[in-house]
Structure 1
Amino acid sequence: MNHTFSDHHQVQVVSSFLELINTSFHGAKNAICWQRNLDGDFEEITNQLSLKENVTEVSTKDLLQLNLSEKGNLAREIILNDLQLLTDFGALPSLNLIKKYNKDEEFDFISTDVYSFHVDRSPISSDTFLCTYFGASSDIISNEEVEQKILIPSIREKLKELHNGPDEEFEDFLKEYYFDLHYQVKPNGTPTNLELGNLWKLAVDHPQQNVLPCVHRAPVENEGEYRLLLIC
């Protein structure tokens, strides 16, 4: 399972948290990976946590209340440490227990949910951090292997019908409803799975960004299994 990302033209591999936050995106590299093999039983934690809604935020208090084995305790220490590192850095990490995300079924010709390849956008300079501790893990794909959905003629025509307004307002409409953030994989495009335990920093679309934003998607969950995901 532990494949090396170091030969991947999109990914820069680092070996510590300090390196992760201090390494800048450059050229085609818009995903930075602190590659780790984590000890500990993350499944035990996932199974003990209680799901209140399909995506449940887990607090530090929730984690500390679990009665865990030695391996489970080791996993908990790792998660608490990751949360602390990111908080000290100034981020707002969230630990989520996920059964499933809401699927976008409003339109049959374009999907705008997190299962669709998309980029994150922010009005201020920021990065997306994420780590999957248990369950299915997210995918990224290089920018040249995808096409913005709004540029695909058949989809664009339908969006124009949907907009049904002045041409000069069409681009604003696409942004307002986040249609412009979503991508379709080109034939032979190959996603890269982020795998378990690695802490990732992904480039976000914002005014100061000097690389293309990282195209990523949430995975379809494994049958009968929750995901445990840190994200900020």
Structure 2
Amino acid sequence: MDSEFSDNTQHKLVTSFDELIHTQFQGAMNAICWHRNLIGDFKEIVTKLPLKENVTVVSVEELLALSLSPAGDMAREIILNDFNLLKDVGASPVLNLLKNYERDEEFDFISTDVYSYHVDRSPIATDTFLCTYYGASSDILPNSEVEQLILIPEIRQKLQEVYDGPTAEFDTFLTEYFFDLHYQPKPHAHPLNLGVGHLWKLAVDHPEQQALPCVHRAPIENEGEYRLLLIC
């Protein structure tokens, strides 16, 4: 097993989907990895799927309609099995063929797109699941190695200059526009790349969560290469 995937205070490795589902986040541990070495030609699936938009949602029907080699068919069966496993526990998986996400270029001093380190928030108890089958994969960082952007004095000052409402409602403004979800790595931070083929469960910010939400970001895509990503 790769040394970077050894258990640490932030993430835990498991060996089955059942263990992934039933292992609870606690303390600083807010990411759980079902570590897998997948067999199959996922690149063939990527090359045969049509890119309709920069982020194209691929339906199960479209996946089943592909004419694939035996290795491509093995890859498809893995994806379909992941779909079924997640649906059976009440999740709503989505398969994305990705060229790139939309960039947030409104301000030059803060970004709220997924390429920025951020956490997910939900009003209900839920988790984020993701697996990159092909292409560049996401990074996570321990909460101790990041600083919330809205607490950095020069960024907070610029946000106050942008805001034109009552002072008492400034924090509400930060939340409504998702500025509070984004983070900056501290000097000498050590991100962990989530790798290809592994199914991850990440902690989300919600009222019942017992751990800190997992700080993560989407990767810059490799030149000329699409990503195939399951997420929910």
Query: What TM-score do the two structures reach when normalised by structure 1?
Result: 0.98
**What is residue 95 of structure 1 aligned with on the other side?**
95
| Superposition deviation, residue 4 in structure 1 | 4.8
Identity of aligned residues (%): 69
| Superposition deviation, residue 5 in structure 1 | 1.7
| 1:33 and 2:2 correspond | no
**What is residue 144 of structure 1 aligned with on the other side?**
144
Question: What does residue range 123-138 of structure 1 map to in structure 2 within 5 Å?
Answer: 123-138=123-138
| Superposition deviation, residue 192 in structure 1 | 0.3
CA distance in 2, matches of 1:89, 1:31: 18
Question: What does residue range 7-86 of structure 1 map to in structure 2 within 5 Å?
Answer: 7-86=7-86
**What is residue 184 of structure 1 aligned with on the other side?**
184
**1:138-171 Cα distance to aligned partner (Å, 9 max, x none):** 0000001000000000000000011122211000
Structure 2 contact 7–13 (Cα < 8 Å) conserved: no
What secondary structure sits across from 2:189 in the alignment?
A: coil
Structure 1's unaligned 5+ residue stretches are: none
**What is residue 108 of structure 1 aligned with on the other side?**
108
**1:44 aligned partner, one-letter code:** E
**1:9-41 Cα distance to aligned partner (Å, 9 max, x none):** 211111000100000001110000000000000
| Superposition deviation, residue 7 in structure 1 | 3.3
Question: CA RMSD for the aligned pairs?
Answer: 1.0
What secondary structure sits across from 2:5 in the alignment?
A: coil
**What is residue 223 of structure 1 aligned with on the other side?**
223
CA distance in 2, matches of 1:129, 1:119: 13
What secondary structure sits across from 1:128 in the alignment?
A: strand
Structure 2 contact 134–227 (Cα < 8 Å) conserved: yes
| Superposition deviation, residue 3 in structure 1 | 4.1
**1:150 aligned partner, one-letter code:** I
Query: What TM-score do the two structures reach when normalised by structure 2?
Result: 0.98
